[in-house]
Amino acid sequence: IVMTQSPATLSVSPGERATLSCRASQSVSSNLAWYQQKPGQAPRLLIYGASARATGIPARFSGSGSGTEFTLTISSLQSEDFAIYYCQHYNNWPYTFGQGTKLEIK
Amino acid sequence: QVQLQESGPGLVKPSETLSLTCAVSGGSVTSSYWSWIRQPPGKGLECIGYIYYTGITIYNPSLKSRVTISLDTSKNQLSLRLNSVTAADTAVYYCASGYENFDFWGQGTLVTVSS
């Protein structure tokens, strides 16, 4: 299954809303996770089951979608949110990641 | 909280074997599934495979003939071996807990394949 993220780069001002998209080449049901990765760090799990926040993840992060279309929304961007975001399906093996969306400061 | 720490050679010659270990603390390797994931420099993430202490091991078909993942319960660690490496295997290698989604990760270790 190929995961396609858009846009490749998103420029948003602090305090504004960011919407990141992920599309699967075939249905993955709700078996989708989102990760945040900062330079030199391992990815951090944000969302699993398409919409459930992982432990300790702030409420400004929300996920939605099912089937082939998914969205990660960050409601009010904080300085620490500027990073690369990856989606990953786990519907059937091998699980695959999208190529990432870089969220940068506008 | 579970902590993971990868270790191993940072440089491997082409055609040789890449060997890494991942020490687990704050939890037992018998309590979860464990995965290896890699990320070539500047690129995306790839699931290599995962293991459960009962002996279940699942590998990415793209690597299946070259990869072995194992657990050492006495040392509370997991290991990765990748045979016949090429420059395409140059990547940061991560161990992580879980097998569907990954909630705890090591910091990663860069392995460069070069003569």
Q: Taking CB atoms and an 8 Å cutoff, what residues of chain B touch A52?
A: none
pLDDT recorded at residue B64: 79
- The CA distance from B60 to the nearest CA of chain A, in Å, is 6
Flag whether pLDDT at B7 surpasses 90. Answer: yes
Task: Read off the pLDDT of each residue in B51-73 and give the average, rounded to a whole number.
Answer: 94
- The CA distance from B16 to the nearest CA of chain A, in Å, is 25
Distance from C-alpha of B78 to C-alpha of B2, rounded to nearest angstrom: 14
Nearest CA in chain A to B94: A42
Query: Among B47, B96, B101, whose Cβ lies nearest the Cβ of A94?
Result: B47
In chain A, which residues touch B (CB < 8 A)?
Answer: 31, 33, 35, 41-45, 48, 54-55, 86, 88, 90, 93-100
Between the alpha carbon of residue A68 and those of residues A29, A85, B61, B90, B102, the distances in Å are: 7, 18, 23, 31, 21
3-state helix, strand and coil shares in percent for chain B, rounded to the nearest 5: 5, 50, 45
Q: Taking CB atoms and an 8 Å cutoff, what residues of chain A touch B94?
A: 42-43
The mean of the pLDDT values for chain B is 96
Task: Read off the pLDDT of each residue in B69-94 and give the average, rounded to a whole number.
Answer: 97
**Cβ neighbourhood burial of B31 (10 Å; 0-12, 13-18, 19+):** exposed
Task: Read off the pLDDT of each residue in A82-89 and give the average, rounded to a whole number.
Answer: 98
pLDDT digits (tens, 9 = 90+) for B14-46: 999 999 999 999 999 998 999 999 999 999 999
Q: Give the residues across from A18 on adjacent strands.
A: A74
pLDDT recorded at residue B55: 85
**Is the CA virtual torsion B99, A62, B44, A88 positive or negative?**
positive
pLDDT recorded at residue B53: 87
